[in-house]
Chain A
């Protein structure tokens, strides 16, 4: 896997003009003539920040965002769950750009609350079908050879799970916010398994966390030996406590529940362990009453993050349609955007790195005349997978599966710029 490859060559900046407004639309975004304008007080009056001295360099030893960004926070949907300790908060995707999610805004899913662990007392054990069961301290782990940095998305399998029966939540934070994308620093899990020596009969590993849910998932040994990481840092700093400090498992492209936080144990065995999170949960109930299990991979998916219900359009004329796409099967190769609910599509430009199993940013520059839009995005990956419509998904799976809803999202953008979550025929 090569993560140093630059993103796709950026196309020439392109404006998409809506059909039928070649003449009329021209007036929409025109600047007022200089003669009609009054001087801008924010230019002609001396503001306090230009006059008086600001705070010193270490006013915030650990920096925080501008107070004007106070609304850009994770949010909960309290009716979803019985308690906040076993619940989820959502990433404010509508307010973010680029591909990296800031650590403090990465969505959080706990099953037994946030464990607060002293790294000096944390241990990592490898045992089961191995030649030498081993215990590592955090210090040992950070001395391991083969340290690496990798950008990956982590998406909860239940992301968009509330939308199976129809449009329900107004905002991509809620419909798509169980995802984040950061750069991890860690060591391949393979290095630990090789140090312990996996016996020939070993086919699965069980990963376990040290939190009050002692979260467990069975993972095929093949995946564990392929690209899983034992990580201690995200975006250049120690993992945040809510993301598993001091140690978490990274399982690229696979459902977030498997990325065990507060990782303390890997057991090697010859069959899966039938844990709660891979039987009663994270299995996909289909229309015929049967259920798929081991649906680990997160299929290609995308969403327009702006405009969206929490990020309305403010003016006619030039606007940037912005969104993210990702695929657990590989690299995003193309994202198409429609403004008319899927009649006609235009290929958006992928901007910035397009890395395997990582969030990828796309833009479409438009000239909006104030007509209603039915905005959708459609992701494709390098396996040829094309993000399906919600109708196509429901035709195969019904509406009861909760997990793995990667259907195409529609935003209705009204002529006043406000957006709503809708579905279209």
Chain B
């Protein structure tokens, strides 16, 4: 047996000891997830209401909970404190210079409010609210956005019937159609324009950190 043939044989024996190569459908790793475990983590709520827990809460209950748990950042009426998110108002601003994207003016789905409050709020004390409390806070937020009346009681049963005003104004990514002009295999290389003028200077605003001067209020935010 040649030297290389012998090392092949050795390698073959090595593989056999590991009972052959594993393939994805033969994975023996992991263990079954128990129903209690899935229940503990699976708190997501879909726009069609799938995932909503049993429970209910009124606008007035929500008002009290909101003042105690949320108003420090979001303001008494959801108007937002400092740069914290504004939750109410803003209707009719989406085409304006400074759009105010709130639950009532922008968000497409009521379920998102429930899901997000339940999963991530109050900021720093996530997942401490009980389902009834979340229903009540969502009811109050809907009331602040003129979606429900003052005496409304939100529950698992009536939840899917509550629609937000801006829902119809979302559509799927269409860049490959509406921005087809950007697929241009032959961009201009020479004499592409007769003259070039500077139209905007960052130094005018001067909002760069460490720039050393106080500037105007900057535009934009990371959301």
Contact = CB atoms under 8 A, between A and B. Distances in A.
B189 A336 contact: yes
B44 A285 contact: no
Contact of B202 (A208, A281, A288, A420): A420
A226 B4 CA distance: 38
A169 interface: yes
Nearest to B205: A168
A295 interface: yes
Interface stretch (A48-56, A131-139, A227-235): A131-139
Nearest to B50: A269
Q: Which of B203, B209, B210 has the most CB of A within 10 A?
A: B209
A135 B220 contact: no
Interface in A336-382: 336, 340-346, 374, 378, 380
A376 to B, nearest CB: 10
Interface string B188-207: 11111101111111110111
B222 A274 contact: no
B174 interface: yes
A27 interface: no
B192 A384 contact: no
A384 B184 contact: yes
Interface in B93-140: 94-95, 99, 101, 103, 106-109, 111-112, 115-116, 119-120, 123-124, 126-127
Interface residues of B, number: 88
B25 A194 contact: yes
A57 interface: no
Given A135-B31, A342-B196, A213 B120 contact: yes
Nearest to A346: B189
A210 to B, nearest CB: 9
B127 A296 contact: no
B175 interface: yes
A283 B192 CA distance: 34
Given A161-B220, A280-B112, A345 B32 contact: no
A80 B198 contact: no
A274 B95 contact: no
Given A145-B27, A162-B219, A336-B189, A111 B120 contact: yes
A267 to B, nearest CB: 7
Interface string B43-57: 111111000000000
B5 interface: no
Contacts of B112: 274-276, 279-280
A82 B173 contact: no
A94 interface: no
Contacts of A283: 170
A292 B173 contact: yes
Contacts of A72: none
Contact of A299 (B116, B119, B175, B178): B175
Interface in A246-277: 264-265, 267, 269, 271, 273-276
Contacts of B193: 342-343, 425
Given A170-B203, A400-B99, A292 B172 contact: yes
A81 B221 contact: yes
Contacts of A421: 201-202
Contact of A132 (B32, B183, B220, B222): B32
Contacts of A143: 29
A392 B182 contact: yes
Contact of A191 (B24, B42, B169): B24
Interface size class of A (residues with CB under 8 A): 35 or more
B173 A345 contact: no
Contacts of B219: 162, 164-165, 168
Interface in A291-326: 291-297, 299, 309
A109 B211 CA distance: 23
A274 B44 CA distance: 10
Contacts of A400: 94, 99
A92 interface: no
A78 B209 contact: yes
A134 B196 contact: no
B136 to A, nearest CB: 19
Contacts of B25: 194-195
Contact of B203 (A271, A342, A420): A420
A134 B46 contact: no
A293 to B, nearest CB: 5
Given A134-B33, A136-B29, A386-B184, A285 B196 contact: no
B90 to A, nearest CB: 12
Contact of A345 (B30, B99, B192): B192
Contacts of B198: 374, 412, 422-425
B2 to A, nearest CB: 30
B173 A267 contact: no
Contacts of B173: 292-297
17 contacts: A87-B222, A111-B120, A127-B38, A146-B24, A166-B200, A166-B205, A279-B170, A285-B106, A289-B95, A294-B173, A297-B175, A342-B196, A343-B192, A378-B187, A386-B182, A386-B185, A386-B187
Q: Which 3 interchain pairs have the tightest Cβ spacing?
A: A341-B196, A421-B202, A133-B33
Given A342-B193, A346-B189, 18 more contacts: A80-B221, A82-B82, A134-B30, A145-B24, A158-B222, A161-B221, A162-B218, A163-B220, A166-B200, A216-B44, A274-B109, A279-B109, A289-B95, A293-B173, A309-B208, A340-B196, A378-B187, A396-B178
Interface of B: 21-25, 27, 29-33, 37-38, 41-48, 73, 82-85, 94-95, 99, 101, 103, 106-109, 111-112, 115-116, 119-120, 123-124, 126-127, 169-175, 178-179, 181-185, 187-193, 195-203, 205-211, 218-223
